[in-house]
Amino acid sequence: MQTRTLGTQGLEVSALGLGCMGMSQSFGPRPPREEMITFLRAAVDRGVTLFDTAEVYGPFHNEELVGEALQPVRGDVVIATKFGFALDEDGKQTGVTSRPDHIRAAVDGSLRRLRTEAIDLLYQHRVDPDVPIEEVAGTVKELIEAGKVHHFGMSEAGVDTIRRAHAVQPVTALQSEYSLFWREPEEAILPALGELGIGFVPFSPLGRGFLTGQVTAATEFGEGDIRASLPRFEGEALQANLALVDLITTVADGKKATAGQVALAWLLAQKPWITPIPGTRRLERLDENLAAADLDLTPEDVAELDSASASVPVQGDRYPEAMQRMIDR
């Protein structure tokens, strides 16, 4: 597996990471724990070094799973986790919070569940409008100085917020959605990251499975599948958006690749400091995704994909309204 460096802070990771959320929530029934432990270790054997989790995934289950699976190879991998959501006694999200005392408690909990002495990359999961970002960055800076955290990251943050945080504690990476299905980061985010020397970790780089070609107009999302509530996957919006997959598939056929591989290779071709984290829990899908790192797209291929994306305006918001309001822009 090729490696990349996220920004200028020296964090080296595999060209493709692994998003672990779906092993605990959002995409149907939770798979057997031992099966996922075996799967995570197989990913390490294939050269994956960046594993993405969060305290809220499950909640808590995902960090525990990742911690157990990666403990035997802890020195060979980079674990990224996140703080930033308030949870009640039953683990239900009650909003965002980045108060310093919450951050410290969240980190201590994550360290315990991940079975590690330090978190490689700690993201603020969502910006808290009630806590100045300078205070958040300062708290993470203290945790870095204490040896509990190595790198600071942000998720779904806007340019102004990133700049203010970066001035207090250098930000190693930003995590936000980016794909041929959602190109908003190109407008302001990517130029700012390049200027500041911050890496970019796109989540949902395959549009939550949409860009693999496995989703059709007839697809019915089962119980516990978040896509059933996402506007992009509903009725007429889904039907309209499928035109993009058809165009990507045309390029993929010419490369003797899958649509998903082409979509990931397109992301890798954008910047050398971009590391996507497609999520999967199936070994055959993991192998398919990782092969994208070896797929060379010509400038003509990239131009054709850009044109295809521009010709199909995406219908529907990324999230339901309540979740959409949590995005800092």
pLDDT score of 320: 82
Phi, psi (degrees; rounded to nearest 5) at 202? -70, 125
pLDDT score of 327: 87
Each residue's pLDDT tens digit, 191-241: 999 999 999 999 999 999 999 999 999 999 998 999 999 999 999 999 999
CB burial string 34-44: b at 16+ within 10 A, e below: eebbebbeebb
Give the integer Cα–Cα distance in Å for 78 and 55: 16
Quick one: which of 131, 140, 139 has its CA closest to 172?
140
Give the integer Cα–Cα distance in Å for 58 and 156: 20
Scan for tokens 């989540």, then name that residue: 203
pLDDT score of 319: 85
Whether the predicted pLDDT of 329 surpasses 80: no
Each residue's pLDDT tens digit, 63-100: 999 999 999 999 999 999 999 999 998 888 899 999 99
Average pLDDT, rounded, for the chain: 96
* E strand map for the chain: 3-6, 11-14, 18-19, 50-52, 78-83, 85-87, 93-96, 119-124, 149-155, 171-177, 199-203
Q: How far is CA 234 from CA 173, 188, 215, 238, 249, in A?
A: 32, 29, 12, 5, 22
State mean pLDDT over 174-183: 97
Whether the predicted pLDDT of 291 surpasses 90: yes
Question: Do residues 65 and 292 lie in contact, with contact meaning Cβ atoms separated by under 8 Å?
Answer: no
State mean pLDDT over 144-154: 98
Which one of the listed residues 57, 123, 178, 319 is annotated catalytic? 57
Q: Is the domain covering 3-209+270-295 a CATH 3.20.20.100 domain?
A: yes
How many beta carbons lie within 10 A of that of residue 214, not counting itself? 14
How many helices (H) and strands (E) would you count in the chain? 11, 11
The model's pTM: 0.96
CA 113, distance to chain mean position in Å, is 20
pLDDT score of 326: 83
State mean pLDDT over 141-159: 98
pLDDT score of 328: 83
Can 57 be counted among the known catalytic residues?
yes
Delimit the domains of the chain by residue range. 3-209+270-295
